[in-house]
Amino acid sequence: MSVPPDDNPYFDQLVSRLTGPGSEFEIVVEDVLGARMPVMRHRDRAVADLLSQSLAWGDREYLVTPSRRVTFARQAHDAYALAAALYDRYGVRVGERVAILAANRPEWVTAFWATQALGGITVGLNPWWVRPELEFGIDNSRPRVLFADEPRAEDLATTDTGDAVVLSLEHDLPRLIEEYSGAQPPPPRVDEDDPAVLLYTSGTSGDPKGALHSQRNLLAVVGYHRYLDAITSAWTGEKYVRGVPSDDRHMLTSALCHITSLHNTIVPRLATGSAVVMNQGWFGVESVLEAIEAEQVTHWNAVPSMAARMLEIDDVERYDLTSLIRFTLSSEPSTPELKQRIRKELPFGRQTVVDSYTITECSASISVATPMELETHPGTVGQPVITVSLEIRDRDGGWLPDGCVGEVCVRSPFVMLGYWRDDAATAETITADRWLRTGDIGVVEDGRLRLLGRRADMVEQNGEHIFPSEVERVLAGHPDVRECMVTGVPHPEWGEEVCAVVVLVPGADTGSEELLAYVAERLAYFKVPTQWHLTRNLLRRNATGKIVRRRPPDVP
């Protein structure tokens, strides 16, 4: 097939061929929890099946760390042995919770797959939580078994863990695997819409909530990633064949308790036979770039703050990053200016940078902006991905046409079952016909979504609605601003006033008056911050790299 001068018609033809009747990724409309929505006809029905299917990949590398290389065969052997131990010794059955509290390491993944082999619910606890948050997560999820690495096990010694059996990843896990080596529990009997994973929202503006994801959710993500592989193969003139392993290598830099790492990296790679290069410990930009070069990483899902750190390296060209073919920004919105800097200043930027819109409540990207779209529509997060329906709605839930600002609502097989043990929050977030109210404010322009900010973050001043992201975008354009956060603080007359926390670049001596004048030239008067906090300290972030907005930040 010859490619037309405009790639869009070719891409539309390709999508139709891949998703049409009788195709590998045929899309049909079926009932999902009482609502009719598009799904893939040819799909897996139990997450546990992915583990048995992965045996076909044999000695191919699955997990790579600076000191270890774990094959698919070894991963399956260890996961099945651990599953047998959990089944036989600790009574874990379908629907039982097994929690994991640890920094990224291969044992985290083994515990995950062992739980899935039993049809249990894997609970990803945030390893950077402090004690009140940790006690909340344990009490909320009430796991039968809790795996922890040594640093967290020490914290658990003085923490109320309820009835959970606490096991260490360093000692108990390998001991159980050795004891049950070669064993395999009976396959679980689960339905598509049975729960599989419980992950907690970031809690940047409030208490975290447990997002409960189903077997269907995870497997829909797997189908989406297989579809992406097929798109890539067709675009490059190759033929996609399911069952043939991919040579792609994926960098993992975010915590495994987040959907970017677990749902969209660890899980689909077991299905595609690709390797995951796992960063361990705190994110260090130079060590990650060294790993990309040494391991010939092809894909990297990164939060925008990680990308910003790369821009601060003067000699980034000394790293050979030519293996990267897809660099996806995820987990939090990024400014058009940052995206354009990445595209222009990083050697792999222009052809590989992809932006996406992801939230914990929806297991995969809601929308994705391709490199071409970022070229022509710098502020966009792209079009909805396959099987995702997206609408902009008003406060009463009414549909709004393109060009109107409102709440982003989505419906798809990626949407969570609901919030664990919180029926009221679930009812507020998911409508009776399975539309997810994201709480994000956006607008659809030219068929593409542009995000304006969180409704909860919106500043209301004298009847005016001010989106912090708009002010942050302007501030980020000042050459002396390293990063910034804008929020609302109470005001006795106005209701709220705009407060800006600005992290200055090293050596800059810019004052608040200069920054105020800079913003005032570019935004309406009521959007200009009236409170300023200038600091050299980086803003507080959670494990996924999002700025924590829950409390006013500690500033000098």
Predicted pLDDT of residue 59 = 98
What is the CATH architecture of 47-59+71-191? Answer: 3-Layer(aba) Sandwich (3.40)
In this structure, the strands spanning 481-491 and 495-504 are antiparallel
- Alpha carbons 249 and 323: distance in angstroms, whole number: 9
Q: What is the mean pLDDT of residues 134-152?
A: 96
- How do residues 38-86 score in pLDDT, each as one tens digit? 999 999 999 999 999 999 999 999 999 999 999 999 999 999 999 999 9
Predicted pLDDT of residue 408 = 97
CATH entry 3.30.300.30 includes domain 458-535 = yes
- Alpha carbons 362 and 381: distance in angstroms, whole number: 15
Short-list 379, 363, 367, CA closest to 199: 363
- Alpha carbons 195 and 122: distance in angstroms, whole number: 9
In the predicted model, is pLDDT for residue 534 greater than 80? Answer: yes
| Banded model confidence at residue 234, pLDDT cuts 50, 70, 90 | confident
- How do residues 376-408 score in pLDDT, each as one tens digit? 998 899 999 999 999 999 999 999 999 999 999
Q: What is the mean pLDDT of residues 188-196?
A: 98
CATH 3.40.50.980 segments of the chain? 47-59+71-191
| Whole-prediction pTM | 0.87
Short-list 519, 29, 65, CA closest to 287: 65
CATH 3.30.300.30 segments of the chain? 458-535
DSSP 19-77: HSTTSTT-EEEEEETTEEEEEESS--S-THHHHHHGGGGTTSEEEE-SS-EEEHHHHHH
- How do residues 248-265 score in pLDDT, each as one tens digit? 999 999 999 999 999 999
Question: How distant, in Å, are the alpha carbons of 275, 419, 462 from that of 441?
Answer: 36, 21, 20
The two tokens of residue 301 are: 């899902």
In the predicted model, is pLDDT for residue 321 greater than 70? Answer: yes
Of 90-94, 284-288, 327-331, 424-428, least confident by mean pLDDT is 327-331
Q: Between these two residues, 312 and 381, which has the higher pLDDT value? A: 381
